[in-house]
Amino acid sequence: MDEREFLQQVFLGKTPNIDEFVDVLGDRFPLLKDYQSTSQDREWHAEGDVHIHVGMVLAEAYKLLQTVASHLDRERRLSLILGALLHDIYKPVATKEQEIEGKIRIVAPRHASKGRSYLAPKLMGLGLPYPVVESTLSLVSYHHDPKQLVTKDKSSAAYKRVSRLADPELLYWLEIADIRGRECKDKQQQLEIVELYGLYAQEYKAWKSFGREYKSWREYFDRELADYDRHTRDFVLATAIARYETGKIFTPESELARSYNYRDSFPQVTITFGVSGSGKSTWIAENLKDHTVISLDALRTQIANSRSDQSQNSKVVQAAKEQLKVLLRSHSKIVWDATNLRRDFRQQVIDISHQYGALVTLVIFHCPEEVYFERNRQRQHPIPEAVLDKQLNSLEFPELDESDRTIIVDELGNTLASHGF
């Protein structure tokens, strides 16, 4: 059966088992086929391999959707089902043996965050509504957070942060299904921890998804700063949220008073994220005409006499950073135009920008995997397909709290989602 037709049936209410999902989606997500050969630690997963576990989690998710979670609309329902199917998608790669307290255990470090990056370009080729894509990716990435918030006795601000990155209620239902869909000695205790997460998240007003809990803060700054433009109001809001979530302020009123120091003049930095051929340069030319572009490709041509010559990268990046600092000091509007596929590379630019008091916007070019290859072949300066493969396999898909604002666009430059605006 065609992938899209199959998922449309799931959207409308079908409840396929794990084997049906693997049959239809296994070519798009090859790691699904490796579930059966991926062992799990017997103490945490006595039921067996990842295939068995995920099958059990799917069954539990369907039970929840038929009962206590039956109020979810079709998009959120589909997100939960796909989250159940894919939450351990990177375990076949990440799983290894490790000695813990004198015992050899089976672990899969960072499989959640790496799973999100693995899935990001692959989910885009299925014709799903973007809210489903975004929610599914967040479920995969943060499905461990509910228990960690409780066991580490995190503050209400930490719960609020998670509510900016994901759909907290769907995280709750996924974790209930994840615990029920396994065999372990402390199963009831684990379920009680997840139940506490649900109670605390609602008590702390951290139950609404993707930043909607901060709606009242947005309204406050829009009202109090009505004479300022949208960029200024966005900047004050983003700064207030960052300070609140790190325990530096407790109310939006506190940031309003502090904002006298920066709200009348500040630089603006836009950072792109996208695999080669995703449309970054075209989008910049059409949407940021009043910005100064710092292009690593252009600098590479100047320094190494070739945009494809990677041998002088350290000099290229250093020159770009110096240019960035000069522009930041003059409170300019700037674009850092590069692939920025690694988080540590993005973070360097974001940190420098914030040191100079800049409003930072991250533009994510989120396209179907196959589009990158098609676009690359049509480019004036195509890169080898092996390099493109490497980019896709190594990219670290951005998190929504890396920058002050985030825009997600498709291969045509259409806005799929925005956060912080």
Rounded to an integer, the average pLDDT of 163-188 is 97
Query: Maximum CA pair distance of the chain?
Result: 64
pLDDT at 51 (0 to 100): 98
pLDDT of residue 305: 66
pLDDT above 80 (res 177): yes
Name residue, tokens 């709750």: 172
pLDDT at position 330, please? 97
pLDDT at position 417 over 70: yes
Query: Would you place residue 191 in the very low, low, confident or very high pLDDT band (cuts 50, 70, 90)?
Result: very high
Query: What is the number of other CB atoms lying within 10 angstroms of the CB of residue 243?
Result: 17
- Token look-up 């099958």 returns 55
What's residue 309's pLDDT? Answer: 62
Q: What is the pLDDT of residue 307?
A: 61
According to the model, what pLDDT value does residue 122 have?
A: 96
Instruction: Indicate whether 132 and 161 sit together in one domain.
Output: yes
| Residue 375 confidence (pLDDT) | 87
For residue 90, give both structure tokens.
């990177």
Q: Do residue 34 and residue 179 come from a single domain?
A: yes
Q: Does the reported pTM lie above 0.75?
A: yes
* Same-domain pairing of 223 and 188: no
* Mean pLDDT of the region 123-137: 97
Confidence band for 314, pLDDT divided at 50, 70 and 90: confident
Q: In this structure, which amino acid lies at residue 352?
A: I
Q: Do 68 and 144 share a structural domain?
A: yes
Contact 41, 101 (CB under 8 A): no
The phi, psi pair for 103, rounded to 5°, reads -120, 145
Query: 409, exposed or middle or buried, with CB in 10 Å at 0-12, 13-18, 19+?
Result: buried
| Mean predicted confidence (pLDDT) in 262-281 | 94
pLDDT at 308: 60
* pLDDT value, residue 77: 98
% of the chain with per-residue pLDDT over 70: 98
pLDDT for the residue 246: 93
- Asked if residue 310 has pLDDT above 80, the reply is no
The residue-averaged pLDDT of 292-297 equals: 93
- Residue 272's pLDDT band, with cuts at 50, 70 and 90, is very high
Final residue of a structural domain among 261, 283, 299 = 261
pLDDT at residue 100 tops 80: yes
**Domain final position from 203, 227, 243:** 203
Range of the domain at 154: 3-203
Q: What's the pLDDT band for 312 if we cut at 50, 70, 90? A: confident
Q: Residue 340: which of 331, 327, 349 has the closest Cα?
A: 349
Report pLDDT for 84.
98
Q: How many domains does the chain have?
A: 3
From 245, 261, 277, the end of a domain falls on: 261
User: Residue 282: pLDDT above 80?
Assistant: yes
CATH classification of the domain holding 386: 3.40.50.300
- Same structural domain for residues 339 and 225? no
Mean pLDDT of the chain: 95
pLDDT for 306 equals 65
| Across 336-359, average pLDDT | 97
Q: What value does the mean pLDDT take over residues 300-307?
A: 75
Predicted local confidence at residue 365, as pLDDT: 97
Mean pLDDT for the stretch of residues 49-70: 98
Where residue 1 falls among pLDDT bands split at 50, 70, 90? Answer: confident
Q: What is the pLDDT of residue 297?
A: 85
Q: Report d(CA 323, CA 338) in Å as an integer.
A: 14
**Residues 7 and 155 reside in one and the same domain:** yes
Specify whether 63 is located in the same domain as 150.
yes
pLDDT computed for residue 311 by the predictor:
67
Buried b (16+ CB within 10 A) or exposed e, 171-206: bbbbbbbbbbbbebeeeeebeebbeebbebbeebeb
Do 16 and 77 fall within a single domain? yes
Instruction: Give the residue-averaged pLDDT of 235-255.
Output: 96
Indicate if the alpha-carbon torsion angle 141, 144, 146, 151 is positive or negative: negative
Same domain, 395 and 320: yes
Same domain assignment for residues 61 and 28: yes
Q: Do residues 277 and 345 share a domain?
A: yes
313 pLDDT band (50/70/90 cuts)? Answer: confident
Q: Are residue 149 and residue 240 in the same domain, yes or no?
A: no
Q: What is the pLDDT of residue 101?
A: 86
